[in-house]
Amino acid sequence: MVAEGEGEPRSIGSYSIRLYGSANPDFPLDDFIAGVVVPRDGSVERLAKLGIEAIPVEEGASRFVELVTHDPGAREVIVTARLGSADTWQPVMPPLPRAHRFVDQIRTLEPGHELICRTKLDLERDAYVRDHVYEGSHLLPAVFGLEAMAEAVAHVTGRAELPFPLSIEDVELTRPLVVHPDRGLMIEIRAQVEKADAAASDGERVYAEIRCEQTGFEQTHFSARFHLRATSMRREQTVDISTSALPVRPKEHLYGSVLFQGPRFQRIDELKVLDSKSCIFMATQGPEDETWLLGDPYFRDALLQSLQLCVVPDQCLPVRIDRWEIVNPAQARRVSRVGKATIDAKEGDTYIGTVSSVSTDGELIESLSGYRARALLRRSDWPNAAQLALRGSVSVPDAVIEAVDTGATGQAHRVHTLQRYGYQNQDAFAFRFPLTAQDSQSATRSLYFTRFFKWMGQMREVCGLNTPGAYVKILDMLRSNEITSATNAFETTILGTPRCNDIIEGRLWVERASAVDCDAVCEWWAIPFAPNEGDPQLIAWSHMTISAVQVLRSGAVRGTKWPDFFFGFLELMGPRGSGVSRAPSNDYDYGACRFKEHHGPRATGVLLAEHVFDTSFEDGNVVGNVYFATYGAWQGRVRDRFFYELSPETFCGLPDAELICTNFRMTQLREAMPFDRVRVEMRLVALYERAADLSFHYFRVAPDGSETKLAVGEHTAAWATPIARNNAIVQNWPSNIMDALLNWMGERRPLAS
C-alpha cells in the first residue's frame, strides 16, 4: 500500500523524516504525503521529561496504515502521543463544565483524549471534609471523589454537563485520601478517554482516577470508569414501604456513634425496616447552596451509610462498587426518597450488597450494585442490627448480658456473657478487673506490655465461671498431671493506653476447637471508672493457641486429648458461623528503615544481648511447668537492660518518651520446668527511625553446657510518648541510642547483660 523510496531521509535536529507517496488511487500522490518521525537514541528519554511521549510501534503502524487506506476527512492529519506542554501545540480547549471545583491546575489536556489536573483540598475551601472525620482523620468522602472524577470526565470530553442516566462502573476506593487539617492535601485527577470499538454504539467510556502527593502521585487511591450515554437502566423499582417507623431517631441514635458522618451528611431521616439482611429508610435529597455536576453528594453518601446499619457491630468502610447508576441527580427543592440496602453475600471480612433509591412514586433515582464494604473493626459497644432496630440505642442491651454474682460490688469486678459477640457469632466471656499500681511499670508510669501475658492467663482460667460446674473442673484439670494444657503460641497487638484508674475488661471467645487443641481471641477494653469520663476504648487484641498435654515424671510433656467435659465446654463457647477474627492495625509510622536482616533460613538477626535466668517454683504454675507469662517477663528484662545500658540518662526520672511494645508474639516449642537454667537471646531483625523489630530465642542450658531450644519470640519496640486513651506519639530514637545501635550493627558483637 505504500510506495517505497519516494524520498530520502532529511535531518531535522534529533529526528529523521522519510516521505512516502501513497499508492491508494483515491488519494493523488501529489496531495498525500506521510511523514514518519523516527527519534534518535536518547531523545525519547529527554522528551519524556518534558511530558512528550513516543507512540508505541504497533499503535503507530496501525494508525499509519489506517490513514493511508482510509479517507481521514481532513487535508492535514497529525497523529501524536501525549505532547505535554509543547509551545508549538495549542489545540482548541473546551470550556469548563458547569461545576468545576476540582478541575483546577491543568497539567495536561488533550481534548477528547486525556486530562491531568491537580487541586489542593483544604478545610476552608472544602468545608464538607470537616464533617467526614473517621478515627481522627479528615477523609475525602468517596462521593466527592466521584464528583472530582466526573468533572474531569466532563472536561476531557468537552461537556458542560454529563448525560443522564449515567452509569459509573468499577468504582475502586483502594486507599483513603487523608486531608491534613493544617496543610491540606494536593490531589491529582486523571481522565483518559478509552478507544471505542468500531462496532460499539452505546457511548463513550472514560477511565478516571485520583492520586495524591502523600504517595508521590504514583499510586491510585480512587478510580472509576464512566459510561456516557448509557440507556440500559431500569427506570422503576419496587420497594415495599412500611407505614410505621422504627423507634430509632437517626440524629440521636445513629449519627455520632454507629455513623461517624457530621451534620452535612446526616440525610437519613427515618428507618422503616432494619435487620442483618436489609435496611429500608427515608432520606432527603435536595440542594445545599452548592453546585455539583452529579447532584447532591450528601444524599448519595447516605446510600453508602445505609449498608453499615445492617452489619453492626462490625464497623466498615466502602472499598468497591461494581456499578453505580445515577438516573435523576438534580432536585430544585428538598424531597424525601425511599432507600433500600440489602446484604447479598459476605466474603471473608467484606460484605457485598445492593443499594437503591426511588421516589415515592417508584421511579428509580440511583442504585449501587456489587457494593463492597470491608469490616475494619468489631465494635463490642454496638448492638447488632435487630437490637438497634428495637432499642434505638448503641449501648449493649441488657438482654444480651447475663451477669454472674461474684460477691464483689461495683463495676470493678464483674463477670458477664455477651451473646453472639464473636466474629463467628460465639458467646463471649467478659471479665472486669481494676488496674493496680503494679500494672503501671513503664518509665512514664503507663501500662507495661507484659501485663497482657498475665491477664490472658487469668482470662482463660476464669472463663468457666458462667458455665455451671465448669470453673471447678477446669482448675482440677489444670492441677492434674494426667491431662492439662500447654500454651503453643500467644500474640498481641497493642492499640492504646488506659488511664491509671480505668477498669480493664477482657472479652474472650473460642475461635476454633478440636479434640486436642483450641484457639481463643481476647479483646482488651479500658472502661472509665466513672460513667462521665468517656466511652470504652479497645486497647489491645490477643490470640492464643493451647493444646492438651500430659506431664510425665521426667518433666517432659506429650500431647493427648481434652477430657469430654472440657471439649464440650469449648464447643459451647465455639463458633456458630463463618468468618475469621483479624487483628486490628495500630497503623504506627515507624519511619524509614535503616537496617534489615537478609531473609533466608539462617537469618536470625544481629545478636544484641543475652542473659541466663535461673528458674524456681516462683516461675511455675499449677500445671508444674514454667508459666508462659514468664517468657514475656524475660523479654522485658533483656530488652530494657540493653537499651538502658546504651543510654542510662534517657531513662532517668520521669521521661517524656520511652520504649513501648506495639506488637509481640511468642511460640513455645518445648516446656521448661522449675530449676531449669534458661538462656535468652535478643536479636535485631530490623531498625527503623522510630522503632526496632526484635527477635527472642529461649534455650534450656543443661549442666554439661548443651542447649535445647524452648521458644522463639517476635517483638516490635518503638520510641514513643504514651497518651492515655489515645494512640501513642511515635517519634525518632534519641540520637545517642540510634548512633549506638548503628555502631553496634557495624561491630556485630553481643552484649552480655
- List, for residues 177-208, the tens digit of each pLDDT value: 999 999 999 999 999 999 776 445 578 999 99
Residues 497, 722: Cα–Cα separation, whole Å: 7
- As a whole number of angstroms, the longest Cα–Cα distance in the chain is 106
Helix/strand/coil for 703:
coil
In this predicted structure, the answer to whether residue 20 has a pLDDT above a threshold of 50 is no
Which pLDDT score is estimated for 23? 43
Residue type, position 139, single letter: L
Which pLDDT score is estimated for 50? 60
Residues 20, 374: Cα–Cα separation, whole Å: 59
Share of residues in the chain with pLDDT > 70 (%): 77
Which pLDDT score is estimated for 11? 33
Please compute the mean of the pLDDT values over residues 287-308 and round it to a whole number.
93
Which pLDDT score is estimated for 68? 74
In this predicted structure, the answer to whether residue 415 has a pLDDT above a threshold of 80 is no
Which pLDDT score is estimated for 609? 93
| Angle ∠(422,424,430) on CA atoms, nearest 5 | 20
Lowest pLDDT segment from 72-86, 434-448, 694-708: 72-86
Residues 511, 460: Cα–Cα separation, whole Å: 13
In this predicted structure, the answer to whether residue 521 has a pLDDT above a threshold of 80 is yes
Residues 385, 391: Cα–Cα separation, whole Å: 10
Where does the pLDDT of residue 408 fall: very low under 50, low under 70, confident under 90, or very high at 90 and above? very low
Please compute the mean of the pLDDT values over residues 256-272 and round it to a whole number.
93
* Angstrom distances, CA of residue 276 to CA of 386, 419, 578: 7, 16, 15
Burial state string for 143-154 with b = 16 or more CB within 10 A and e = fewer than 16: bbbbbbbbbbbb
Burial class (CB in 10 A: 0-12, 13-18, 19+), 130: middle
Are 283 and 144 spatial neighbours (Cβ–Cβ below 8 Å)?
no
| Angle ∠(303,309,315) on CA atoms, nearest 5 | 105
Please compute the mean of the pLDDT values over residues 534-552 and round it to a whole number.
85
Residues 172, 224: Cα–Cα separation, whole Å: 6
- List, for residues 447-499, the tens digit of each pLDDT value: 888 889 988 888 887 775 555 556 566 667 666 666 777 888 999 999 888 88
* R_g over Cα of the chain: 33
Where does the pLDDT of residue 751 fall: very low under 50, low under 70, confident under 90, or very high at 90 and above? very low
Helix/strand/coil for 363:
strand
Which pLDDT score is estimated for 31? 46
Residue 225: which of 166, 176, 141 has the closest Cα? Answer: 166
Which pLDDT score is estimated for 429? 85
- What is the chain's mean pLDDT, rounded? 81
Which pLDDT score is estimated for 24? 46
In this predicted structure, the answer to whether residue 376 has a pLDDT above a threshold of 80 is yes
What is the phi/psi pair of residue 594, to 5°? -100, -20
Residue 460: which of 425, 511, 502 has the closest Cα? Answer: 511
Please compute the mean of the pLDDT values over residues 219-248 and round it to a whole number.
74
Highest-confidence range of 326-335, 433-442, 514-523, 654-663, by mean pLDDT?
514-523
According to DSSP, the residues that pair with 350 across neighbouring strands are: 347, 374
pTM for this predicted structure: 0.51
- What is the residue-wise DSSP string for 301-321? HHHHHHHHHHHTTEEEEEEEE
Lowest pLDDT segment from 92-106, 516-530, 571-585: 571-585
Residue 493: which of 636, 663, 694, 376 has the closest Cα? Answer: 663
Residues 538, 497: Cα–Cα separation, whole Å: 9
Q: Structural domains in the chain? A: 2-69 (no CATH), 105-227 (3.10.129.10), 250-391 (3.10.129.120), 396-585 (3.10.129.10), 587-753 (3.10.129.10)
Question: How many residues would you count in the chain?
Answer: 753
Task: Name the strands in the sheet holding 350-358, side by side, starting at the edge strand that comes first in the sequence.
Answer: 105-110, 114-121, 185-193, 205-212, 222-227, 166-173, 314-326, 364-378, 350-358, 335-347, 278-285, 268-274
User: Cis omega (within 30 of 0) on the bond before 165?
Assistant: yes
Place of cell 494508525: 63
Residues 703, 240: Cα–Cα separation, whole Å: 79
- List, for residues 609-651, the tens digit of each pLDDT value: 999 999 888 877 666 678 888 999 999 999 999 999 988 888 7
Q: Determine the straight-line distance between the first and last CA of the chain, rounded to whole angstroms.
A: 84
Please compute the mean of the pLDDT values over residues 115-138 and round it to a whole number.
94
Which pLDDT score is estimated for 44? 66
Q: What is the sign of the dihedral through the CA atoms of 331, 333, 337 and 341?
A: positive
H-helix or E-strand containing 463? none
329 or 139, which is more confident: 139
Residue 279: which of 300, 252, 257, 248 has the closest Cα? Answer: 248
Residue 257: which of 382, 380, 128 has the closest Cα? Answer: 382
Residues 666, 669: Cα–Cα separation, whole Å: 10
Which pLDDT score is estimated for 34? 52
Among the residues of 368-492, which ranges form H helices? 385-391, 451-462, 470-479
Are 194 and 153 spatial neighbours (Cβ–Cβ below 8 Å)?
no
Where does the pLDDT of residue 35 fall: very low under 50, low under 70, confident under 90, or very high at 90 and above? low
- List, for residues 212-229, the tens digit of each pLDDT value: 998 899 999 999 999 997
Highest-confidence range of 77-81, 576-580, 606-610, 727-731, by mean pLDDT?
606-610
In this predicted structure, the answer to whether residue 12 has a pLDDT above a threshold of 80 is no
Q: What one-character DSSP code corresponds to residue 123?
A: T
Please compute the mean of the pLDDT values over residues 672-691 and round it to a whole number.
93
Among the residues of 312-450, which ranges form H helices? 385-391
Pairing of strands 350-358, 364-378: antiparallel
Burial class (CB in 10 A: 0-12, 13-18, 19+), 753: middle
Residues 379, 682: Cα–Cα separation, whole Å: 36
Are 303 and 366 spatial neighbours (Cβ–Cβ below 8 Å)?
yes
Which pLDDT score is estimated for 45? 67
624 or 263, which is more confident: 263
Report the half-sphere exposure of 468 (CA within 13 A, side-chain side).
0
Which pLDDT score is estimated for 63? 72
Share of residues in the chain with pLDDT > 90 (%): 41
Please compute the mean of the pLDDT values over residues 117-132 and round it to a whole number.
96
C-alpha cell at 334: 428538598
In this predicted structure, the answer to whether residue 676 has a pLDDT above a threshold of 60 is yes
Helix/strand/coil for 477:
helix
In this predicted structure, the answer to whether residue 288 has a pLDDT above a threshold of 80 is no
> 736 Cβ partners below 8 Å, 6+ apart?
646, 647, 650
Please compute the mean of the pLDDT values over residues 385-390 and round it to a whole number.
81
According to DSSP, the residues that pair with 172 across neighbouring strands are: 223, 320
Are 40 and 74 spatial neighbours (Cβ–Cβ below 8 Å)?
no
- List, for residues 544-593, the tens digit of each pLDDT value: 998 888 776 655 677 888 777 777 778 777 787 766 677 788 888 899 99
Are 156 and 114 spatial neighbours (Cβ–Cβ below 8 Å)?
yes
